[in-house]
Chain A
Amino acid sequence: MAKRTIAYAWSLASLTAILVASVSLPSLAPAQGRGPTDPGVRGGAAGAGDPLTGLTAAELAFFEAAKEVFAEVDAVADGLGPRFNLDSCLGCHSQPASGGSAPAINPQVAVAQRDKNTVPSFITADGPVREARFVRNPDGTPDGGVHGLFVIAGRADAPGCNIAQPNFAAELARNNVVFRIPTPTFGLGLVESTTDAALVASLAANGAQKRALGISGRFNHNGNDGTIARFGWKAQNKSLLLFAGEAYNVEIGVTNDLFPNEREGNPNCQFNHTHPESPTPLESENTPSPSASFQSDIALFAAFMRLLAPPTPAGATPAVAAATTPSSTQVASASSVLPAAAGTTSTAATTSTTSTTATVARGRQVFANIGCSACHTPTQKSGGANVAALSNVTFSPYSDFAVHDMGDRLADGVSQGEANGREFRTAPLWGVGQRVFFLHDGRTKDLGEAIAQHASRGSEANQVIQNFNALAGADRQAVLNFLRSL
């Protein structure tokens, strides 16, 4: 197991938490005209990052050990690079808690400057954590692979390494770069435990509604065994272990049991001569979990994601569950969507909470009625699992885990598995209330804009977006309020 430098990660996480909190205040401006207003990142406590409820003591210890490894910062001696996008899992997956998505302040900028790299133009301090993919090779053939943003050449622990960063400016000039942001990993053990049959049945269950909306959708199957792959922006990864192994090599540059070969073979830049750089340990690493002490890093990353609880919606209270359907005239403005901040006990706060309940309930109804839920399927059910807390659980990912044609605007030209350059997995919406950046490349922070981007030539979502646009203003606002409650 690699040496671990946790202090940096924690200070980074703390800084991020402070900065995120500072931008988490609700927008107090009411919706202008007919356009809905994104209430913004939901404030209050992070509704995610905890382990599943019901874990045994051994499972909990395993989770805690895995969580520590997830936060580790890798150095060159640990296998970092030669090319990389960041030096820890947590750095990318930290919003609103460990395991999440891109934070409000991009840690890639500080890491690039520390390691004497040029910061590419598409990486900004207040922008999303991004990886870059090239659509085509210089000879015009399909590429689609991740090209690491940074190199270790400028680091003190990489003497003699002299490789250069890719020429992103040139690739941007020829319109050859597309981006991806980190997907949140909360609740993914439940997704992994869902049977193919359950996903197929779920996709077919509302077929009539889909046919009335111009929606089809299909699964991305794994090329090795033909089963449904379900992780990643294009559902290209079959399992959490595969997801972890690929990311460790592609994003951080650490070779491992699943991806044992260096992507950058320059011999002057190889400093960790073990193969793979992060193997399964044969001696105890002395973690709080006896089992975790003998697990590889990628096994622990996967375990962490597997045992993370799903995000908790803001409205997950009996009051919301029992809410009756209000008329559209009862829908509150954006200013009332967020729960009262912790410690607020005023009458206004009570009124706000009541209105919030109403608008969220209405938004949920509108969301289903106009067809969003045809793809953003509210509930799935896991199958049997070794971990009892994952076994036969009904959960609410708001995804069918199928890939859909999302049209010209979102097309990235990258094929992965059976998903072509226009298809993307239905992004799970659980936890979206505390997300900062939206869509696969993080192109917007605005939920309303994210919805609008679903419509373009060739998109399966066109009719649904037309329905959304035809709604009364209050109902469109209710949809955004509902989404920010998730």
Chain B
Amino acid sequence: MQRLSKLGAAASLAAMLASVLAAALAWRYGEAILTFAVTSAMPDPQDGRVTGDSYTNPYFGLSYPLPKGFAEGLAGPDPSHSGYYVLANLVSQAEGAGTILIAAQDTFFDEARRDLAEAASETRDTMAQIDGMSIDREPAEIMIGRQPASRSAWRIDFNGVGLYRAMVITEMRCHLVSITLTAPDPQARETLASSLDQIVLAAGRDPVCIRDYAAGNQLIRKVAPTDMAPSSIPIPARIIIGSDGAVRHVHVIRATDGQRKSIEPALRQWTFKPHTINGRAVEVETGLALGGGGRFTSSN
């Protein structure tokens, strides 16, 4: 019990520090977007970190021991309106020895609704069209990660102007996760590719991913955000619905601070019919887009 209260105090302190950081960012950048949830203990896709010699991402249940000599590089941008995340930029400490970019595309917001094979094929075709780019390895299915939790992925290799690249794409918890390896020669590329075998994937019980779940008749109660600043582009949000049908977690992926403050409390009040699999109620993860339409019908 004492230990629990210490943990609670630590969590409160962390939340306070996050709030201070958020306020500082808002002061510095005015309408800067704040992409992390400061009040929730549930991880979001962008919550991965390099700690020690590993990149760990609690949302994806992923731990990747960095190849020797690699460290965290410059952080990427905030998540996009299309649910695209730059999760990690890993760079070799030796000049020009390689980079690793880990990114994710939320499948709820992927208009093309690509599966792994289609995503790999699209990458191949796009790269092949670039002047001077050669396809070294056609898209092929591979396995990544340590047994027994290894999983299927697709790999495509290409090179041009002295940069040897491989892109590995896999599906993890409602996202297409891509790992792009860039190396100065084919052998170094292979060394980087082999490092993916060391990825550890947690065998946790993730929520069931259901696209457009909030748009169907499962939705029982809907509360509209109030005083939401208008946006001509839809604001993407991801919610986790508990087995009791209540919203357990809200992640507004990309919005201004004001929009976020309006959307988050509203979505927390939504309720759904519990989703069942084999008669058992389960958690559901889904995405929805708010706003972005109908406000340009008047010239007033």
Q: Write the residues of chain A forming the contact surface with B, with a CB cutoff of 8 angstroms.
A: 135-136, 140, 142, 144, 206-209, 211-214, 216-218, 221-226, 325, 328, 364-366, 368-370, 404-405, 407, 411, 413-415, 418, 420-422, 455-460, 462-463, 466-467, 469-472, 475
Contact = CB atoms under 8 A, between A and B. Distances in A.
Interface string B159-179: 011110101000000000010
12 contacts: A212-B165, A214-B101, A217-B80, A224-B299, A368-B132, A369-B131, A407-B74, A420-B31, A421-B32, A457-B74, A471-B163, A475-B161
Contact of B233 (A140, A218, A368, A369): A218
A459 B74 contact: yes
Contacts of A325: 131-132
A413 B29 contact: yes
B77 A460 contact: yes
Nearest to A475: B161
Given A211-B84, A212-B178, A328-B162, 16 more contacts: A140-B27, A144-B30, A212-B101, A212-B167, A213-B101, A216-B80, A223-B232, A365-B132, A369-B160, A407-B77, A413-B28, A420-B30, A456-B74, A458-B78, A470-B99, A470-B163
Contacts of B76: 214, 458-460, 462
A422 B76 CA distance: 12
B77 A467 contact: no
Given A458-B76, A459-B74, A368 B96 contact: no
Interface stretch (B9-17, B119-127, B243-251): B119-127
A463 B178 contact: no
Per DSSP, chain B at the interface is loop
B295 interface: yes
A211 B178 contact: yes
B30 A135 contact: yes
B86 interface: yes
A214 B29 contact: no
Contact of B74 (A365, A418, A455): A455
Interface in B124-148: 125-127, 130-133
Contacts of B78: 405, 458
A212 B180 contact: yes
Contacts of A135: 30
A369 B127 CA distance: 9
Contacts of B256: 420
Interface string B265-300: 000000000000000000000000000000110010
B89 interface: yes
B78 to A, nearest CB: 7
B103 interface: yes
Nearest to A423: B77
A475 B161 CA distance: 8
Contacts of B27: 140
Contacts of A413: 28-30, 32
A370 B164 CA distance: 11
Contacts of A142: 30-31
A213 to B, nearest CB: 7
Which of the listed residues A140, A368, A369, A467 has the most CB atoms from chain B within 10 Å of its own CB? A369
Closest 7 CB pairs of A and B: A216-B80, A405-B77, A208-B126, A142-B30, A226-B296, A221-B232, A369-B160
B263 interface: no
Contacts of A418: 231-233
A425 B269 CA distance: 38
A474 to B, nearest CB: 10
A217 B82 CA distance: 9
Contacts of A144: 30
B162 A475 contact: yes
A270 to B, nearest CB: 31
A421 B29 contact: yes
